[in-house]
Amino acid sequence: MEGTSTKGPRSFICKPVLPPSAPVELSRVMLPDDTNPAGNVHGGVILKLIEQAGHITSSRHCNQGSAAGHQPVTTVLARVDHMDFLQPMYVGEVSHLQAAVTYTSPRSMEVTVDVWAENVLTCTRRHTNTATLWYVAVPVNSLKPSDQQENKFVTVCVPGVKRLTDEQQEAGRQRYLAHKAQRDETAANMSPLPNPVPFPLDSSHEERHTVLASQVTLAYLVSPSHCLSKGYLMGGSLMKVMDNSAAISAARHCRSFAVTACIDAINFHSPIVKGEVVFVTARPVFTSSRSIELEVRCEAEGFTRGSRRVTNTAYFTFVSLGKEHRAAPIPPLKALGKEERERFEAGRLRYEARKAQRH
């Protein structure tokens, strides 16, 4: 049959070329529907691609080389560590994502993802992001259909990473302990956010540039296209909506387009399943002269249960774009009341810490 010959320079390769341990690489051309109103690729699109690469890498790590009778496992995103958006990505460029497992604890694993933008006309690459994600392993057979979910997973032990030196192992252990402490801290502060002020507001309104004036809530029904195994929402799909919500809140405060500069840790506390309604709320908590930090909180509501639960928390930092897409000054946030002033001060400390890390 034509095309099946194994002779000549164009013969089919029947054996794999790369070793199973090679880092995962995903590539995709950036299209017009991937962009924000400013014309850059939307930060949420990048976050979704990063999580896809992380899920593939972590699931492969848990299942490759398994003995006969091994119970297949899938992996679930538990946390995304702080990440900077170093450079924008544009339509027509090719995104390349390389991912590898860089540390494992007994029941979780750290996956590092590098993101590159390639201009195929000039044959050049730019490094745009590096992300650190934490996953847990869940037996596929333990996953229940969405109408029987219990808002929690049964996790299992994960294989170790054999190639790490003692120094790398200890550094990974310290990162694990730090993220676990931060995750426990956020879990203790998961109350729903208050209702926002009605919008739009007149530009002269005294409530302009307050927290509630810029607060935004997006709601959507989780469909099969958002999900992975057994109807569980994929973390990357949720992060894209979180970024959208934060972008709207930032634009409402600044009255201009705003783009993602960085995210602090995103913690995933409870699984969300197909058929639930997700409410993603963003509100500003701190402003500097050139950036705005927003708290994003997700709640899930099941129709049969009739109650909401907080599933995710995160902080996003945006910059406002002015003429020629350059960073523009941001109006100061009016922090009203003790709680808002305390959140503003906490945001200022995070801002100063980020500045210190860059220098």
- Looking at the annotation, which residues are catalytic? 36, 243
Label each residue of 90-119 as H, E or C.
ECCCEEEEEEEEEEECCCCEEEEEEEEEEE
* Spatial CA neighbour of 225 closest among 237, 235, 239: 237
* Element (DSSP H or E) covering residue 163: none
d(CA 279, CA 199): 18
- Residue pair 246/162 in contact by the 8 Å Cβ criterion: no
Coil, helix or strand at residue 81 = coil
| Token pair for 58 | 């972590």
Q: Angle between the 235-254 and 43-63 helix axes, to the nearest 10 degrees?
A: 160
| Cα separation, 75 vs 54, whole angstroms | 9
Cα distances from 255 to residues 208, 329, 330, in angstroms, run 11, 11, 9
HEC string of 221-232 equals ECCHHHECHHHE
In 3D, which of 238, 220, 247, 245 has the Cα closest to residue 312? 238
Q: Look at residues 312, 282, 315 and name the one whose alpha carbon lies nearest to residue 298.
A: 312
